[in-house]
Amino acid sequence: MEIKLLNNNEIDIDRWDIVVKASPNARVYAESWYLDIVNPDWLGLIWGNYDYVMPVSLDSKLGIRYIFQPVYAQQQGIFPTATPEITSQFISKLKELVRFFEISMNSLSVKVNDKLEISEGVNYILPLKNSYDRIFAGYSSHAKRYSRKAKRENDVLAGVPAHEFLSFKEQLSGKEYTSKHRVALRKIVTKSVASQRGIVYGAYAGPNELCAAAFFLFEQKRFIYHNSVSSPSGKEKRAMFAIVDRFIRDYANTPFLLDFEGSNIDGIARFFSGFGAQPEHYQQLKYNNLPYFLRLIKK
C-alpha cells in the first residue's frame, strides 16, 4: 500500500482527527489543533484511505532536510498501532524523505530496529479508577508525608486563569524556556483552557501569593501533567505535592490515567513514582545517514 506525504492543508483534518482520537494509542500530540501549535508546517504520512496516519515535522539546515520531534510533543508515531510490517513501511518512507531524523514513537507502538539508533523514553502513569484513599495508600512514605505537610501550608485552587499561570511561568523560568517554548505553551494553555480541555491548579502560600502552579491537559483517556512551575517559596513548602494530591483527589474514581509525561532525571522520576505512578516506556528513534563530516557533528 502506498504511503502518501501531504502538507497539512491537503489533509482531510476531520478524518485525521477521527483516526487519532479513536486509536487505542490516542495521543493529543498527534491531534491537528495541537500539531498546528507545536509545528504549524507539519505534514502527515497517510497509509491507504486514512487507515494509518503519522505526523511529520520537517525542517532543513545547510540545505539538508531532517525530521525532528516538536517541543511539547512527547509521544507521536503511527496511529492506530500498526503491525511490524506496516511500521517498517513508514520507517522506510521516512528514510526516503531525509538522511537524518530523531523522533519519538508512543508506548503502544511495536518495537522497531530497521538499522536505527534506539533509546528508551520513560513516562509515568497513574490509573485513577480507584478511590482517593486507595490511591493515597499507594503513595511512597515520603510522598504521604510531604503531601500532608504541603496541604497544611498551601491553599490549592483549581481553575487558576491561564494568563496568571503563563505570567508566573515566565517570571520563574530560566534560559531553557526559549521563545519557541514560550509561544507554543502560551497557545496550548490558552486554547485548551478556553475549550475546557485543560485546567490550571495553583498553590497559594498566603492571600494572592501564588507559589506553585501546574497545567493539566485532557485527552480521550488521559489527564496530562503537562507543565508546572514553582517559586523558591513553593519549592520550600513542597507545594507541588499539594497540587498533585488535590488533582488526584478531584479525579479519583474516574476511568482515566494521570500521565506525568515522565522524565529521565532521577529526582523528577522519584516525584512521579512517589504517587504510585508506574513507568511506561516508548522508543526514541534516530537515523543518521548524513555525509561523514556532518554525521560527526550530529552525534
How many helices and strands, by DSSP H and E, does the chain display? 11, 13
Q: Phi and psi (nearest 5°) for 276?
A: 90, 5
Q: Can you tell me which residue has the cell 525532528?
A: 68
Q: Peptide bond preceding 80: is omega within 30 degrees of 0, i.e. cis?
A: yes
If one counts every other C-beta atom within 10 angstroms of the C-beta of residue 174, the result is 5
Q: Are 89 and 239 in contact (CB under 8 A)?
A: no
Alpha-carbon distances of 150 from 138, 202, 226, 244, rounded to whole Å: 18, 13, 21, 11
pLDDT tens per residue, the chain (299 residues)?
A: 789 999 999 999 999 999 999 999 999 999 999 999 999 999 999 999 999 999 999 999 888 999 999 999 999 999 999 999 999 999 999 999 999 999 999 999 998 877 899 999 999 999 999 999 999 999 999 999 999 999 999 999 999 999 999 999 999 988 888 899 999 999 999 999 999 999 999 999 888 899 999 999 999 899 999 999 999 999 999 999 999 999 999 999 999 999 999 776 788 899 999 999 999 999 999 999 987 766 655 55
Q: Which of 127, 57, 123 is nearest to 260 (CA)?
A: 123
- For position 294, what pLDDT does the model report? 64
List of domains in the chain: 3-121+282-298 (3.40.630.30), 129-255 (3.40.630.30)
Locus of grid cell 485527552 = 219
**SS3 assignment, position 50:** coil
